[in-house]
Chain A
Amino acid sequence: MKRVLIVDDSPTMRKFVGYVLRRKDYATEEAEDGLDAMEKLSNYEIDLVIVDLNMPNMDGISFVKNLRHSYYNLDLPVIMLTTTSDRELQEEAYGAGINMFLTKPVQPNVLLDSVESLLGGGA
C-alpha cells in the first residue's frame, strides 16, 4: 500500500485530502507544517508528499528545498496544493523541486489522477 504524507496547517484540508486518498486505498500520514513533515519523513516510509505553500514555522517552498538537500529524497514525488495561482510563486516552487502544482479548491478526481500519475499505477 502506498503511503502519502499530507502537509497542511489547516486540519480541514488535511481531513479532506485524507478522505479522498483513503477512498482509493492510499495510506495517509499528516503533518501540520514543513518542520513537522521533515520529522514524519524520517519516521515513516513515504511514497508521495502533498504540501501546502503558506504555513507557519516552515513554509512549503522551504520544505521542498530542505527535502531535496537530502540524497534519499531526490526522487520523492511532491505535489504542491495551494490557494495561490501566482505565476512567480509557481515557478519558484518548481525551481525548488516540486513535481506538480495544483490549485485549491481541487476536485477529488483531479487530485487522485495526479497522485496516480506520479506514483505510476494504483495504490
Chain B
Amino acid sequence: MKDQFLEKDEMREIIDEFIVEAGELTEKAIQDVVVIENNPDEEMINSIFRAVHTVKGTSSFLGFDALSTLAHRAEDILGMVRKGNVAPDHAVGDALLEALDLIKTLLEEIKESGAEQSDTAPTIEKLEALKNPEKKEPGEMCEEAGAVKTDELHDVSKEQEGAPKGKEPGEIVVEGKGARENQVNNLPIKQKTQTHKEESTIRIEVKKLDELMNLAGELVLGKNRLILLNNIVKKSDATNNALDNLADITNYIEVVTNELQLSVMRARLVPISKLFNKVPRLARDLSAEFGKEIGLTMEGEETELDRSLIEALHDPLIHIIRNSVDHGVETPEERARKGKQKEGTLSLKAYNEGNNVIIEVFDDGKGINVEEVKKKAREKGILGDAELATLPAREAMNLVFAAGLSTAKKVSNISGRGVGMDVVKTNVEKMNGQVSIDSEEGKWTKLTMRLPLTLAIMRALIVGVLDDLYAIPLNTVTELVKLSEGLIKSVDKKEVLVLRDKVIPVVDLARVFTGEPQPGEDKYVIICNIGEKTIGIKARAVEGQEEVVIKPLGEFLGNVKGIGGATIRGDGKAILILDMSALVSHSSFLNAYRKIA
C-alpha cells in the first residue's frame, strides 16, 4: 500500500535515511550500554530504550521484520532494566551488546542487498533467557553476598515499613552497620545525569566537502600567483596608479581566500569523541579477554580534528590500546604482588597545541624495559653495539617503533598479528604526524601522537638544496642558522652543529638524494624539531615562508623515502615537500640503513 502511494525513489530515500538514523542510534546505544554496566544512570538507560524503540518502530513500518523483532526483544529487556526489575549487569550488557551488534549487521545487509540475511534466533534466545530471572530485592542481594544474615534482613524489612520516608532496604542495612557501604555500592546508584549536548548540524556528503576543500586549495594557488604577479609588476613600474588598485585587489583576495580556506577546513573538523567513544567498549572486551581489570578515563573528547584523520587514526589507536591492555597493564594478581592498585588505569587525553592535536595514551602498567629493547635491537641487527651504548634511554625506548622489533615475550592473538608498533608509526607519519613513547619501568608508559589539524594545506619554509627548491613543514622548523666557517664539526665521521652547547646532527640533503658529497657552498642550517629529536638541514638558499597545498606524488612515484608530497608554487612550478620524520630516522639510524643498502 505505502509502496504504491509513494514513488520508488521516495521509498528508497526513506530507507536510506532509516539506515543512517538507525545506525547512529545503535552506535550511540552501544556506547551507553558499556557505561550503564558500571553506572546505571537513569537518563542514559532511557536514551538507550528510546533508541531501540525507534529502531523497532521504523523497521517494522518499513517491513524489516527480523530487525524489528530483534529490537523489540532488546526493548523488552531495557524496559525491565528501566523499571528496576533487571540489574544492568555484565550478562545483560553482553546480551544487549550482541543484539545491538546484530542490528548494525542487519542494517549493513539492508544497505548492501536491500534485505536482512543474518539469523537473529540465537541472539533473541539469549535476550529471552534474561527475561525471567528471579526477581531479587536489594536486601536479598546483600544477604546472598553474605553481608547480612536472614534474620537481620527481617528486622530491616520491619524497620522499612516503619520508616518515615520509606528508606531503601540497602540504606537501612548500611545504617545498621550490617553491611559495609561498598557492599551496597553495586546496587544501582543514581549518578549525576550526563547531559549530551545536541549539536546543531546538518549532514553533508564527505565528497562534497572534499570538492570544496580542493577548490579552496586551488584558490590558494591562484592567490599565490596573483601575489607573485603583483610583486613583479610593482618592481617594474612603481609609479603607475592602476598598480595600487592591483595591490588592493591582491590584498583583498588574499584575506578572503585565507578565511575561506580556514572555514572549509573547520567544516571538516569532527570532535575526536567520534573515535574515543569506541574505546570503552574496546577496553571492556579486551579486559575480559586478557583477564585484566581496567579503569578507563578520557579527557578532551571535544578536541576537533579533520575527519579523514579521525578515520585514519582508528586502527593505530585500537592497536595502541590493545598493546596497553595486553602488554602494559599487569594481571590483578601481579599488580597486587607489586603493591599496585588491583585495577589498572588506562587514560586517553586529547588537546590542541598550536596547529597540532596531541593525543596521549597512558597506562600505569609495567612500563618499558629499556635493556630488553636494546637487546632485541641488537639481535635483530637494527643497531650495533656502539650506537646502543651511547643511545639515550628515551631514544632507546622509541626503538619499539622500529620495524621487526616486538618486545612482547608471548605472542597473543591480538598483539601478535604480525603488525606492531612500526605500523602505528607508519600510519601516523602518513598523516604528517609524529609518535613517541615515554615510560618509567615498572610504573607507567605514555604514548604521544602529534597530528596536524588538516592534511590538505600547511605552511612551509621554502629552501634551496643543490639547484632545486624544497618545502619544509613549518611546524617542525625552530630556527635558522647562518653558516660560517668551522660551525659544522665532524664527530664519528658524522656532521654535527654545536648550537648553544647542544650537539645537533646535520643532514646533508644533497648527499642523501644523490648518494655522494656534492660540491658547492651551503649557507644555512635549518634547525628542525621532530618529536624528541632535533636535526639540522643544510641549505644553499632560503626563499621564505609559503602556504602550500599538499598534493600526493601519485602512484607512479609512490613512496619515496624522505619526500612527503609535492606542491605547486605561485610561478606554476612543482616542488617537493620533505618528509621530516623519515629524514630524522635517516640521520639517527644512518648506519643501520647503510648496512641494509
Contact = CB atoms under 8 A, between A and B. Distances in A.
A108 B2 contact: yes
Nearest to B59: A12
A73 to B, nearest CB: 25
A27 B411 CA distance: 64
A90 interface: no
B6 A20 contact: yes
A114 interface: no
Interface string A4-47: 00000111110110011001000000000000000000000000
A63 to B, nearest CB: 15
B478 interface: no
Given A10-B21, A20-B5, A109-B5, A15 B13 contact: yes
Contact of A54 (B5, B6, B53): B53
B60 interface: yes
Contact of B50 (A9, A11, A19, A109): A9
B581 to A, nearest CB: 43
Given A12-B17, A108-B1, A19 B6 contact: yes
B198 to A, nearest CB: 9
A55 B50 CA distance: 7
Interface string B1-41: 11001100010011001100110000000000000000000
Nearest to B196: A56
Nearest to B25: A10
A98 B349 CA distance: 49
A12 B18 contact: yes
B538 interface: no
A115 to B, nearest CB: 14
Given A10-B57, A104-B57, A15 B17 contact: yes
Given A10-B58, A11-B21, A12-B21, A23 B14 contact: no
Nearest to A33: B198
Nearest to B53: A54
B17 A23 contact: no
B273 interface: no
Contact of A105 (B5, B53, B60): B60
A70 interface: no
A99 interface: no
Given A15-B14, A15-B17, A56-B47, A9 B54 contact: yes
A2 B101 CA distance: 43
Nearest to B72: A83
B450 interface: no
B593 interface: no
Nearest to B10: A19
A105 B14 contact: no
A19 B13 CA distance: 11
B589 interface: no
B46 to A, nearest CB: 8
A117 interface: no
Contact of B61 (A19, A54, A104, A109): A104
Nearest to A13: B58
A11 B56 contact: no
Contacts of B47: 56
B5 A12 contact: no
A83 to B, nearest CB: 4
Contacts of A104: 57, 60-61
B562 to A, nearest CB: 49
Interface of B: 1-2, 5-6, 10, 13-14, 17-18, 21-22, 47, 50, 53-54, 56-58, 60-62
30 contacts: A9-B54, A10-B54, A10-B57, A10-B58, A11-B17, A12-B14, A12-B18, A12-B58, A12-B62, A13-B57, A13-B58, A15-B13, A15-B14, A16-B6, A16-B14, A16-B61, A19-B6, A23-B5, A23-B6, A54-B50, A56-B50, A83-B53, A83-B57, A83-B60, A104-B60, A105-B2, A107-B1, A108-B2, A108-B6, A109-B5
